[in-house]
């Protein structure tokens, strides 16, 4: 098969896969329907304060697997739903930030700076339109970069990196993520070490499952669902419940602002906003391509650059006082991260953010698709099914973007009421739903206890200012790091210095060290 | 203030890392860092966890020397009190979830629970009561008192979950039925 045949096969797998229903005589495939459903769900959860894309992905995964099973046909519908949620939640997150000054996620915080003042001035609808257009533009741009770059990067890695270099690359990724995520390199490295340790419990090549204390429960290791959902979701729920517990005296009244003046978003507005959207889309994509940095920094940088270049006319609001440019710059930047974040996932198998973690979990749970450089092998004699799936994923991402451009804005603007759902009622229900979902996937009560244990760990990490993301990424990469290192050691004839006597591997190791040294240099002010 | 709190965390991490590397890994792995069988040398099962411990130790040492001028974040006694309450609520809810189904089956003389684990209402009693207790307890924890609102929400949400997972799928078991 040639490259174009693979692209067409991926598109066909989405449109001509198992049929769900027919519309006006035309068959609608399961994958297509699940992208639409996921996208609308994503906007819904994104617009609900206290929820978010990763939480919805975590809860829906076991339900999806129960519905579609573990067959090869399940992969595209399940991944399609998750991709839809990921993209929908990014757009939906702007709703509570703009309407009620309550950013549902850290990324949306910068959106409140100009979005909420616009609402106070009676321009809520216009602010939502600006957020929607900017978000859709940033997301689409970033997906195009992903589709163009990921295959080339993967091919380069397969061609130029041997086992020692791959081991060094994994170590560089771990040290990079550990030192860049969060404000402290030390805490990042501790979290990475703990994540690796969790990955190594109950595994190994010997007959005795290591680090299991000889117990049956630990000998099977910690499953990915218990670790991911525990640290990322349950930990966040525990923190959220505690915040509410402390703030129970706070009044929950929401002030209403009526609409007034022109709410339309015309060509003149778009021309004025376009440079800000373009710049932020570039910033977001560049940051998103680096694993672990995340959309909060992209939003902050996009906003800061836009603020430096913003020259308001007479009577126009400044940035921070309700300028549409502020909303556009922030939303384009944080949305551009989501597509680019999949570049390291698909080309290296290294997840860059929480949403990517759940896509990997789905791929691991169902099987038949292992994100990494091996996906992009353009084999001509035999079909590489993983490559067909990869192009199917790209097709679904573009479909979700199409949804975003068409119905996304209307749906998003109709969800302002969700912000009134009380969080103290929502979070306990989400906790029960998460624990039930985990048990349904792995029916062992100890898995619930492990999840709660990892939830407490995630809660403690957040409370001491330690990001849980390096922990989770280290857990994901731990098994691969060990396997690659074992193979590299064997392939180099048991050379203990295999990481240091080959130029590329040595360069990567030096880079890993430099990243750490750079991150602990004396800083003038907080990053 | 921030500096000393981070140093406390660094100390805890350093002790943990050393304990893992020097005690847990050597005592709880079947092979060492490198293994030699006949003339072949290979990486043993202790190597990877030792690397993990090394990450923790290096992180602790860096945390000891680095100065982070970020916002102060540390554990206080209030966090401990909250965790105690949380453990109490979740412990009670999970105990109800685990034990109530088999207890009800025994009291009613319905037979061995293992044979009833997929038969309503026995298979749903534990989940219904435990799930309701979990939601009502956590809502009550935030509100400062147990309320009818929390109980109603717990009951409705567990019933929705039963409808979502248990009724449409024959092969799915609600907690704790997979363990029996």
A63 close to A107: Cβ distance less than 8 angstroms: no
Q: What is the pLDDT of residue A428?
A: 92
The domains of chain B are located at 2-65, 77-179
Q: Which residues contact B96 (CB under 8 A, 6 or more apart)?
A: B126, B129, B130, B133
Q: Which of B9, B98, B161 sits opposite A464 (nearest CB)?
A: B9
Q: Which residues contact A307 (CB under 8 A, 6 or more apart)?
A: A319, A320, A326, A329
A60 close to A377: Cβ distance less than 8 angstroms: no
Checking if the pLDDT of A527 tops 80, the result is no
A242 close to B83: Cβ distance less than 8 angstroms: no
pLDDT tens per residue across span A152-174: 887 887 777 888 998 998 898 88
Is there a contact between B138 and A428 if contact means CB atoms under 8 Å apart? yes
DSSP assignments along B72-134, one per residue: -----HHHHHHHHHHHHHHHHHHHHHHHHHHHHHHHTT---HHHHTTSTTHHHHHHHHHHHHH
DSSP state of A524: S
Q: To the nearest whole angstrom, how far is the Cα of A222 from the nearest Cα of chain B?
A: 15
Q: What is the pLDDT of residue A526?
A: 40
What is the C-alpha to C-alpha distance for residues A204 and A210, in angstroms, rounded to an integer?
6
Q: What is the pLDDT of residue B23?
A: 96
Find the closest chain A residue to B46 by CA distance.
Answer: A210
Helix residue ranges per DSSP H, B36-76: 47-65
First to last CA, chain A: 49
Residues in chain A, total: 527
Find the closest chain B residue to A524 by CA distance.
Answer: B69
Place A104 in a pLDDT band, splitting at 50, 70 and 90.
low
Lowest mean pLDDT among A166-180, A181-195, A225-239, B56-70: B56-70
Residues of A in contact with B69 (CB under 8 A): 523, 525-526
Q: What is the pLDDT of residue A445?
A: 92
**B67 vs A482, which has greater pLDDT?**
A482
A484 close to A163: Cβ distance less than 8 angstroms: yes
Q: Which of B57, B70, B178 sits opposite A444 (nearest CB)?
A: B178
Helix axes A295-309 and A267-288, enclosed angle (nearest 10): 140
* Count of helix runs (H) and strand runs (E) in chain B: 7, 2
What is the C-alpha to C-alpha distance for residues A514 and A505, in angstroms, rounded to an integer?
14
pLDDT tens per residue across span A207-264: 899 999 999 889 999 988 889 889 988 998 898 899 888 877 555 443 455 566 666 7
H or E segment to which residue B37 belongs:
strand B34-37
β partners of residue B37? B40
What is the C-alpha to C-alpha distance for residues A85 and A48, in angstroms, rounded to an integer?
13
Checking if the pLDDT of A453 tops 90, the result is yes
DSSP state of A375: G
**Which of A189, A209, A451 best tests the B interface by mutation, with the highest count of B CBs <10 A?**
A189
DSSP assignments along A465-502, one per residue: T--SHHHHHHHHHHHHHHHHHHHHHHHTTS-TTTTTSS
The mean pLDDT of B6-32, rounded to a whole number, is 94
pLDDT tens per residue across span A333-386: 988 887 888 888 888 787 767 778 888 888 888 888 888 877 888 887 888 888
* % of residues, chain A, pLDDT over 90: 27
Place B72 in a pLDDT band, splitting at 50, 70 and 90.
low
Find the closest chain B residue to A200 by CA distance.
Answer: B49
DSSP assignments along A81-107, one per residue: HHHHHHHHHHHHTHHHHHHHS--SSST
A163 close to A508: Cβ distance less than 8 angstroms: no
A464 close to A187: Cβ distance less than 8 angstroms: yes
Checking if the pLDDT of A525 tops 50, the result is no
Checking if the pLDDT of A291 tops 70, the result is no
A287: nearest Cα among A107, A134, A151: A107
Residues of A in contact with B50 (CB under 8 A): none
Checking if the pLDDT of B1 tops 50, the result is no
**What is the average pLDDT value for chain A, to the nearest integer?**
84
Q: Which of B31, B45, B60 sits opposite A186 (nearest CB)?
A: B60
Q: What is the pLDDT of residue A341?
A: 81
Lowest mean pLDDT among A242-256, B41-55, B65-79, B151-165: A242-256
A181: nearest Cα among A161, A200, A160, A195: A195
The mean pLDDT of B93-122, rounded to a whole number, is 88
Neighbours of A305 (CB within 10 A): 17
Place A318 in a pLDDT band, splitting at 50, 70 and 90.
confident
Q: Which of B6, B75, B150 sits opposite A463 (nearest CB)?
A: B75
CA-to-CA separations, A148 to A143, A394, A439, B37, in angstroms, rounded: 9, 10, 39, 48
Q: To the nearest whole angstrom, how far is the Cα of A164 from the nearest Cα of chain B?
A: 14
């Amino acid at each position: 098969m040639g490259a174009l045949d693979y692209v067409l096969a991926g598109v066909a797998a989405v449109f001509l896969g198992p049929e769900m229903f027919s519309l006006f005589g035309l068959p609608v495939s399961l994958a297509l329907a699940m992208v639409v459903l996921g996208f609308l769900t994503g906007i819904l959860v994104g617009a609900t304060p206290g929820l978010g894309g990763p939480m919805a992905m975590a809860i829906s995964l076991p339900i999806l697997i129960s519905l579609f099973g573990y067959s090869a046909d399940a992969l595209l519908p399940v991944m399609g739903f998750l991709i839809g949620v990921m993209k929908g939640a990014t757009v939906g997150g702007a709703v509570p930030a703009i309407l009620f000054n309550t950013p549902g996620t850290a990324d949306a915080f910068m959106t409140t700076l100009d979005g909420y003042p616009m609402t106070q001035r009676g321009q809520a609808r216009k602010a939502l339109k600006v957020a929607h257009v900017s978000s859709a533009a940033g997301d689409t741009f970033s997906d195009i970069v992903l589709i163009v770059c990921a295959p080339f990067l993967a091919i380069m890695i397969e061609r130029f990196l041997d086992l020692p270099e791959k081991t060094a690359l994994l170590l560089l990724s771990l040290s990079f993520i550990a030192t860049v995520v969060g404000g402290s390199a030390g805490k990042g490295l501790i979290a990475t070490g703990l994540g690796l340790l969790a990955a190594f419990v109950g595994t190994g090549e010997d007959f005795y499952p290591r680090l299991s204390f000889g117990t049956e429960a630990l000998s099977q290791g910690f499953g990915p669902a218990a670790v991911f959902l525990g640290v990322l979701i349950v930990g966040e729920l525990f923190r959220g419940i505690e915040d509410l517990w402390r703030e129970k005296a706070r009044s929950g009244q929401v002030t209403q602002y009526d609409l007034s003046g022109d709410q339309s978003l015309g060509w003149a507005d778009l021309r004025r906003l376009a440079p800000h959207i373009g710049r932020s889309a570039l910033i977001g994509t560049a940051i998103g391509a680096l694993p672990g940095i995340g959309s909060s920094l992209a939003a902050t940088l996009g906003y800061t650059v836009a603020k430096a270049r913003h020259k308001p006319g007479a009577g126009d609001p400044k940035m921070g006082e309700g300028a549409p440019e502020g909303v556009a710059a922030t939303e384009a930047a944080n949305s551009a991260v989501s597509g680019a974040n999949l570049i390291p996932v698909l080309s290296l198998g290294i997840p860059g953010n929480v949403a990517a973690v759940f896509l990997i979990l789905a791929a691991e749970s169902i099987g038949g698709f292992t994100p990494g450089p091996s996906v992009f092998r353009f084999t001509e004699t035999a079909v590489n099914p993983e490559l067909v799936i990869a192009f199917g994923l790209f097709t679904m991402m573009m479909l979700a973007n199409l949804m975003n451009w068409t119905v996304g804005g209307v749906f998003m603007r109709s969800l302002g009421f969700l912000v009134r759902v009380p969080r103290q009622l929502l979070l306990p229900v989400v906790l029960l739903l998460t624990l039930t979902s985990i048990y349904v996937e792995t029916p062992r009560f100890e898995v619930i206890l492990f999840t709660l244990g990892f939830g407490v760990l995630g809660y403690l990490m957040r409370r001491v200012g330690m990001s849980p993301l390096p922990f989770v990424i280290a857990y994901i990469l731990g098994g691969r790091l060990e396997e690659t290192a074992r193979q590299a050691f064997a392939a180099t004839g048991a050379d203990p210095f295999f990481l240091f006597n080959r130029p590329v591997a040595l360069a990567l190791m030096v880079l890993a060290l430099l990243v750490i040294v750079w991150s602990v240099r004396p800083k003038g002010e907080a990053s | 203030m921030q500096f000393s709190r981070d140093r406390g965390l660094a100390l805890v991490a350093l002790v943990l890392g050393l304990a893992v590397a020097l005690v847990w890994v050597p005592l709880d792995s079947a092979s060492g860092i490198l293994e030699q069988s006949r003339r072949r040398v290979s990486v043993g099962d202790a190597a990877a966890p030792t690397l993990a411990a090394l990450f923790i130790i290096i992180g602790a040492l860096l945390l000891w020397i680095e100065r982070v001028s970020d916002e102060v974040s540390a554990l206080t006694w209030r966090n401990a009190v909250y965790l105690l309450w949380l453990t109490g609520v979740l412990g009670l809810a999970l105990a109800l979830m685990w034990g109530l189904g088999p207890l009800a089956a025994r009291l009613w003389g319905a037979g061995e629970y293992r044979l009833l684990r997929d038969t309503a209402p026995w298979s749903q009693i534990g989940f219904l009561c435990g799930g309701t207790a979990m939601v009502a307890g956590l809502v009550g924890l935030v509100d400062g008192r147990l309320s009818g609102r929390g109980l109603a929400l717990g009951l409705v949400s567990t019933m929705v979950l039963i409808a979502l997972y248990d009724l449409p799928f024959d092969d799915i078991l609600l907690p704790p039925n997979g363990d029996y």
